[in-house]
Structure 1
């Protein structure tokens, strides 16, 4: 069908590769196990086949001897026809199930709304059964469902994914769950599922709404609702989505933690499951005190704070903990509900060295003890709490006084003080003003902020009597590990002066590896936040993760606990969430002086409104003078925290700019905008190549220079982004038209386009024989062209991640490279998860074909094992920096010239 070609490559017979020349570029296509390699793809020309151990053979003529122009020419239609005919000849056992194997290619690349509805997607999936589909199809369906339904589609995705007979064969039962949590879809959505289902006979039912936005609009009140309300009750308005949510994965615990959470939520009129989790952790931590330890001698002492608005049910979990302790006969573990002095705190721990202190109105308590004018006996409480936190594994030795008879020194062996404080938001955040975050004492606390101050009422709460299985679980934790000697009868009796030998809770091999990753992440976070108060929080990241993982293991099996990898994963996610909550809310609400407080107060007004007119802003900021208001607003605009809205209104308005990144996985939702605007992402036209280019990573730092000593402190902040300036000259009439059309489609800064650094497009050599092979522009003069990195990989396909990595990571662990070869050079680009990264140093693969690559900027989002790297034309979504970038001051004639400036769309 295609005719003979002189260039035939054989690696493992009878498989072969035929080389032709494309008349015009077109996209490749797969019909497993056959593949059509075309635009932007590559093959290994000269190498040793990994299976046969023999060099690839060219039995007729070599590519090095045949000019490109002499190769037989083929077009897209003929190539696809050949592929279909060849695939039809394959035996059934060689054909791999693929959704796209018999689906026609689509030429549509225009704008599309990714949102769908749960009913429509569920109906369409009936025509797309997961019959052991290939990974590409599994990935495509998952990304489409995440874009179409968001978190609402999680259960549907898990059910569909588990429909394959090979599900779980690898021993990993959470692959689909981890993929869903890390999925960041773009350029895909419900339309993909609908299109594939229609090709298999699905006819959308007329009563089903396909588009998510259309379904939302249909659910809105009718324009005549005001008039209809006079004769009938209007339907209740749908509340807006909450910007802050507690990930459901954090609430998936077992053992005593689960039993307490179920008890506290079932018996509550206003259930607060996240606050119940915080109280449960402190409860189990106190009862496990001095009985268990980690291999690094960390103990179960935990400080935590629950935050909810007044009347939101924040105090219920505290009351439940008290009842459970008394029901279990463990009231000796319960400390006072108010800390009057440091001496009282130490006396309490002398009586019983493992105690849970539950403090109501903890925000007011903090304001008192952190106040610079606080009484000495109150201020000393905070100092003692700080020292007790770090003394859980050794004797606490108190202060020395002159009168040893009247005031003897206090010594407590391995004290375990756990604190569960509850508070309303206002007093707590105001207590942190004036630099309280900088000294690191508040970093010892985990902040549990509810995502619903006023949950749905439970009209039939359960009885307040603690269930018997919870009581038994707490008693089992208090007994410790049967047969383990804690150091004698006195130690077993929890005598505060007796040394005690706690049981070491072992970690499984997978948990050890998970903790090693957590420690590396903690180091990376400390380095990236050097010089800020955030280092105090991240300095406790690994420590708190180890503590919580041990508490989870003890909660599950107190008689013989073993920390598993799932415990470490849960603990690290919870600590990251709590740290992120503290950082995010402190950034919004905590100020060190009146000027900063006014800035944040105005920003919060705009953030809450989403978009606000100038006259409304003036009314809400009457505490400011006109000059102060204008100065603050200008400063917020210059800092890119808010923007002036460009909508067509008689009065100007402002809206907040969404943050480039957030320190927590529970990021704030994007704000409302002027009307329904859908951002469209375009592909860069290949006919346009710049004649001059500036392409670099713009970091986001803040410099503080002392006016006296000129000493400089530099703060590295999140939000580094790629920027580019490209000049195109001369442009012929056709090229100029393509450029003008693209700039018009971008609509100023409204839409995005994917571009790459034209200086480094492809790898142009073989690292197995040439060492460090740099990337460069496309050129036919190179003997070997590895256009997407496959020449560096054992087998076919791109390298991939050998391990997952969290958001903010500065390195990635990769696999699939040729052993002991240079895999990336310093400055090489890597595409991952739709974003662009640069290798900061040359890296060689290990003997096993793995490589750890240092990257910049830090990862935009968490990534999962197996995610492929893009090494050919790795691109980044960019938008024009202004609405005037389409200006082209060129004298009329046969040629045109354009220079545009772009920045990464974050």
Structure 2
């Protein structure tokens, strides 16, 4: 069977047809009908653009096609844009609405992470999925300087204060491992809202860091994975250990893309730490300034305070999760079921991930393996925000959550491939290629590249440009502004190079 026939056969199994439609605000909390189970062999189109796939994936065909046609894992599991995922139903969506309406630089993308963490903290330790996933979330929001990253954090703090639950907003930084353990012991469910998160993450990832940061890193990994069980503690010389039952820590950190990726290396992406985080990359055009926002960040609407109290009350009735110092015994959780539609979609999602694992590089596997877990945690959080007294994970909610989890996975993998490096030279090489690629069809001069990487010496820059050109990543062409005047030499990414200009050598 040749590659064309294989591709046709594969396309009959995997459908990549997607639809982009943002759910309406007033219809977000509707429960999916119980009879909407997918029929085998059909394509299901849904509002959040998560790729549809037939009920079965032929594993042999996928593996064979990868060898003969070079199929990418992203062809098997696709994701919508972040902007299509900022209207979840229930309290999460309502908090996002308020954050956006009270911002001078409104960004729903930057409001999404804090809103999720707020509801996840309120619901913490009280609810779980049938697979025992709970509502502890690690989220990083990336945006350039001037995007108003701090606004959403202030809103969440004000909301919790007005609701009388500001103690659920924990430390903004973890300076020591004992401090982190004590914070969990004092308040088993809390959120940490951190600015300049790239610098903190760099300390955790640096193999030369002192023992305390290495221990903090270990604790964060353990807390993420034992939210439904127990952290057994560390053994000290006096033999005393302190168990922490069902720690429910959520983290929302913000950073600029450069600060976040600058000190990370590719060797630290496969150990399971970074894949525990979800990445919301809000980069793009800066939001337009609003002279007089319609609402105030220091005066949350009463309906939001009521929503917070409903979740807190429901969770406290189950396990007393809001009580201070309530870590001395296991916290029983209410199981939140998936409806029939969600169960059918969950089966498809697992097969998507299995297919992607078959044809992807092993470096991608830690991120892919976390995709379904992230989706279930997100779906559980939103479901509790829709109906705290009787939450149900509907097909609509799970599709939204799977879209966001898949978006995070693809963004993490794509950005890591461009930005992660194991040496300064590799990091500078990647940055030069990124600057030239971002210039698009306009191209960029060597001088402009140098202005953006001022720490790079001129002879090192010329060496990188020469290597990149020889490898076919970039081309150098002569261009005249508006077709007139003296030509200038500009570098273009190979995919953006004008085909009709003569290549010029420096």
**What is the TM-score normalised by the length of structure 1?**
0.44
Q: Residue 278 of structure 1 contacts residue 306 of structure 1 at CA under 8 Å; is this kept in 2? A: yes
Q: 1:179 to 1:319 in 2, by over 3 A?
A: closer
Aligned to 1:477: 311
Separation of aligned partners in 2, 1:492 and 1:336? 17
Deviation of residue 181 (structure 1)?
8.4
Deviation of residue 290 (structure 1)?
0.6
1:497 counterpart = 2:332:
no
Aligned to 2:248: 416
Deviation of residue 281 (structure 1)?
0.8
Aligned to 2:460: 624
Deviation of residue 673 (structure 1)?
4.2
Which of 536, 542, 558 is the aligned partner of 2:366? 536
Q: 1:325 to 1:607 in 2, by over 3 A?
A: same
Which consecutive residues of structure 2, in runs of 5 or more, have no partner in the other structure? 1-16, 25-32, 38-42, 53-78, 451-457, 502-506
Which of 127, 131, 143 is the aligned partner of 1:308? 143
Separation of aligned partners in 2, 1:465 and 1:252? 22
Deviation of residue 531 (structure 1)?
2.2
Separation of aligned partners in 2, 1:504 and 1:498? 19
Q: 1:586 to 1:267 in 2, by over 3 A?
A: same
Aligned to 2:492: 655
Deviation of residue 373 (structure 1)?
2.6
Aligned to 1:345: 180
Q: Residue 92 of structure 2 contacts residue 385 of structure 2 at CA under 8 Å; is this kept in 1? A: yes
Deviation of residue 645 (structure 1)?
6.4
Q: Residue 588 of structure 1 contacts residue 604 of structure 1 at CA under 8 Å; is this kept in 2? A: yes
Q: 1:356 to 1:651 in 2, by over 3 A?
A: closer
Moved more, 431-440 or 616-625: 616-625
Cα deviations by residue, 1:228-266 (Å, 9 ceiling, x for unpaired): xxxxxxxxxxxxxxxx99444301212110121111111
Separation of aligned partners in 1, 2:338 and 2:315? 16
1:507 counterpart = 2:338:
yes
Separation of aligned partners in 2, 1:600 and 1:399? 41
Separation of aligned partners in 2, 1:349 and 1:181? 36
* Counterpart secondary structure, 2:470: helix
Which of 397, 413, 416 is the aligned partner of 1:586? 416
1:326 counterpart = 2:168:
no
Q: 1:609 to 1:516 in 2, by over 3 A?
A: same
Q: Residue 345 of structure 2 contacts residue 395 of structure 2 at CA under 8 Å; is this kept in 1? A: yes
Aligned to 2:198: 363
Q: 1:290 to 1:423 in 2, by over 3 A?
A: same
Aligned to 1:393: 228
Q: Residue 245 of structure 2 contacts residue 327 of structure 2 at CA under 8 Å; is this kept in 1? A: yes
Q: Residue 309 of structure 1 contacts residue 453 of structure 1 at CA under 8 Å; is this kept in 2? A: no
Q: 1:674 to 1:299 in 2, by over 3 A?
A: same
Q: Residue 433 of structure 1 contacts residue 590 of structure 1 at CA under 8 Å; is this kept in 2? A: yes
Which of 273, 280, 286 is the aligned partner of 1:441? 273
1:548 counterpart = 2:378:
yes
Q: 1:268 to 1:490 in 2, by over 3 A?
A: closer
Cα RMSD of the aligned pairs, angstroms, is: 3.5
Moved more, 642-651 or 282-291: 642-651
Deviation of residue 381 (structure 1)?
1.1
* Counterpart secondary structure, 1:386: helix
Cα deviations by residue, 1:629-668 (Å, 9 ceiling, x for unpaired): 3223212x0xxx445669999887653245xxxxxxxxxx
* Counterpart secondary structure, 1:432: coil
* Counterpart secondary structure, 2:149: coil
* Counterpart secondary structure, 1:377: helix
Q: 1:672 to 1:455 in 2, by over 3 A?
A: farther
* Counterpart secondary structure, 1:315: helix
* Counterpart secondary structure, 2:215: helix
**What is the TM-score normalised by the length of structure 2?**
0.76
Deviation of residue 480 (structure 1)?
2.1
Moved more, 445-454 or 576-585: 445-454
* Counterpart secondary structure, 2:207: coil
Q: 1:571 to 1:285 in 2, by over 3 A?
A: same
Aligned to 1:430: 262
Separation of aligned partners in 1, 2:289 and 2:468? 41
Q: 1:561 to 1:438 in 2, by over 3 A?
A: same
Q: 1:502 to 1:612 in 2, by over 3 A?
A: same
Which of 107, 129, 132 is the aligned partner of 1:272? 107
Aligned to 1:519: 350
Deviation of residue 298 (structure 1)?
0.8
Q: Residue 246 of structure 1 contacts residue 274 of structure 1 at CA under 8 Å; is this kept in 2? A: no
Q: For CA contacts below 8 A with separation 6 or more, give which structure has more relative contact order.
A: 2
Q: Residue 246 of structure 1 contacts residue 450 of structure 1 at CA under 8 Å; is this kept in 2? A: no
Separation of aligned partners in 1, 2:469 and 2:159? 52
Deviation of residue 592 (structure 1)?
1.4
Cα deviations by residue, 1:83-116 (Å, 9 ceiling, x for unpaired): xxxxxxxxxxxxxxxxxxxxxxxxxxxxxxxxxx
Q: 1:455 to 1:652 in 2, by over 3 A?
A: closer
Deviation of residue 460 (structure 1)?
1.2
Aligned to 1:797: none
Aligned to 1:609: 439
Deviation of residue 467 (structure 1)?
1.1
Higher helix share goes to which structure?
2
Separation of aligned partners in 2, 1:625 and 1:471? 55
**Higher radius of gyration, 1 or 2:** 1
Separation of aligned partners in 2, 1:477 and 1:340? 31
Aligned length: 430
Deviation of residue 624 (structure 1)?
2.1
